Amino acid sequence: MSDDIFITEERIEGAEDGPLAGKTVAVKDNISTDGVRTTCGSRMLEDYVPPYDATVVSRLKAAGATIVGKANMDEFGMGTTTETSYFGETDNPAAPGHVPGGSSGGSAAAVAAGEADLALGSDTGGSVRCPAAFCGVVGIKPTYGLVSRYGLIAYGNSLEQIGPFGETVEDAAQLLDVIAGSDDRDATTRSEGDDSSYADAATGDVDGLSIGVPTELLEGADEGVVETFWEALGELEDRGAEYHEVSLPSVEHAVEAYYVIAMSEASSNLARFDGVRYGHSGGYDGNWNETFARAREEGFGDEVKRRILLGTYALSAGYHDKYYKKAQDARAWVKQDFDEALSEADVLASPTMPVPPFELGESLNDPLQLYLADANTVPVNLADLPAISVPAGETDGLPVGLQLVGPAFGEERLIRAASALA
């Protein structure tokens, strides 16, 4: 196995039979595994060993899957390149010398490299779809509430969902069948419709499918990415689908709203990592404030500290309404626009990422540009909708993904459409 893909290499055998018997699965390192180190790619949790399994891990074991390792990730899910991990960067098997995307880069890379049949990641603002696009594999971001988040170490809990990776749409859908469904330990999960078979929906039948193309999600995208996107859309048209332009005016403000909300939630969720309750200890010299500050200074990387500081500022007295409340208002606007667009089309389509994979090290000194690269993915999380990224082709030898977005709990429709391409 490749050291830059896995943080923890430990085989966990599942049941002897089940729908995933004989399948190997990589699990992102922010998903709890009983007795196996779970670090979130951070020095803060370098030695943390959970005493329980996440619900999705319990379901993998019951389905007969073999977990082959914990996959590398951007620290606490904060990144687009898997270069912010305390344990080092991950290379892209589909484009060596380039980033695999983030934050679930290790999970996508494991599937792309053939080191796991399937993988689990988490998607707060594109962290499944971005690496799926950059590594040339399939990644599904489920509807918020379809998959239990119990055991997922929280970053932005109103936004994030655990999602599957696979080499094909049917593979990823088979994994979604196993992990989806209500969970008494996660009150946000849905309580009905748990008998859906997503793998059975991968028929590739797109005859009569109406596809809306949001013009705003093409603006400013790399020319080669846009060209590859239209070629893939043409394949769907050849198979009977129809497409037309739609508009999502609010996405102009989606990135700003997303980062205010996500950073605010990160500030709150990561407060417990203080070296006493959880995490790296900076040593105790009798002064609590200095001890707390030292633990977090040493335990967190630069990107995590940047987001905690910005989130704390946005929530502080005098600024809550100016930033956080305004961001929540923008979130409602984004959701309204998606609902209107999906009343005019069965699914929406765009490039998953507006750019091809960056070279390793290319973007680390410009966090703003990295945030802007999430322009096509973060609106979906704000709207609590499902999306899938499938390989669309290449530009200059680098993978390009096509993103399809559907109505809430419309995964079967997305899987049916996407399986016409992968």
Catalytic residues: 28, 103, 127
Q: Tell me if 45 sits within 8 A of 195, measured CB to CB.
A: no
Query: Could you count the other beta carbons within 10 Å of the beta carbon of residue 220?
Result: 11
**Three-state secondary-structure class, residue 123:** strand
User: Please, which residues bridge with residue 6 across strands?
Assistant: 71
What is each CA distance from 239 to 159, 209, 233, 243, 350, in whole angstroms?
34, 10, 10, 12, 18
Q: End-to-end CA distance of the chain, in Å?
A: 26
Q: How far is CA 27 from CA 110, 270, 273, 375, in A?
A: 10, 21, 22, 26
Those residues whose C-beta lies under 8 Å from the C-beta of residue 255, and which sit 6 or more positions away, are 371, 372, 374, 375, 378
Dist. CA 378–CA 362, nearest whole Å: 22
Separation of alpha carbons 58 and 184, rounded Å: 14
- Among residues 160, 132, 165, the alpha carbon closest in space to that of 147 is found at 160
Give the strand order in the sheet containing 387-395: 6-8, 66-71, 24-28, 118-123, 161-166, 138-141, 387-395, 398-405, 347-351, 210-214, 242-246
C-alpha triplet 128, 131, 132: angle, nearest 5° = 75
CA distance 154 to 35: 19
